[in-house]
Amino acid sequence: MPLLLIVDDEVDITDTYSMLLELHGYRVITACHGADALDKARQHWPDLVISDCMMPVMNGLELCAALRRLPGGAQLPVILCSGAPERHDLSQSSHNLFLRKPVFFDRLLEEIGRLLPGRP
């Protein structure tokens, strides 16, 4: 069962995504900012990361760059999300996919399935 790491400083989002993704057969861990996510990823390497861009301590773009530097990080699928994409220079980021908030759950499930081989 794939492990997903959900990173967002809005607890409503992490709680909602966790509940819905667990109902669809995923294991989920959550983090409230990039530094927290990096610590958790080192402890339990995820199969995929879904991260907000705008967060305190370490934002989603910084998290993506830090994950890429870890062993196995180059192959880790990373989905970045933001309600204000114009605030970020996404051209320098190595994320796999960007989704504009609000992210519709059906689209999120579809993209997770596409990025994780062997999943529907």
- pLDDT digit string, tens, across residues 44-60: 999 999 999 999 999 99
Lowest mean pLDDT among 14-18, 44-48, 85-89: 85-89
Domain that holds residue 68: 3-113
Half-sphere exposure of 61 (CA within 13 A, CB side): 10
- How many angstroms separate the CA atoms of 26 and 78, rounded? 16
What integer is the mean pLDDT of 80-109? 87
Give me the pLDDT at residue 119, please: 54
Tell whether 81 is covered by a domain.
yes
Rg of the chain on CA atoms, in Å:
13
Give me the pLDDT at residue 120, please: 47
Tell whether 119 is covered by a domain.
no
Say how many domains are in the chain: 1
- DSSP secondary structure, 18-74, as one string: HHHHHHTT-EEEEESSHHHHHHHHHHS--SEEEEES--SSS-HHHHHHHHHTSTTGG
The model carries a pTM of 0.93
Q: Where does the pLDDT of residue 118 fall: very low under 50, low under 70, confident under 90, or very high at 90 and above? A: low
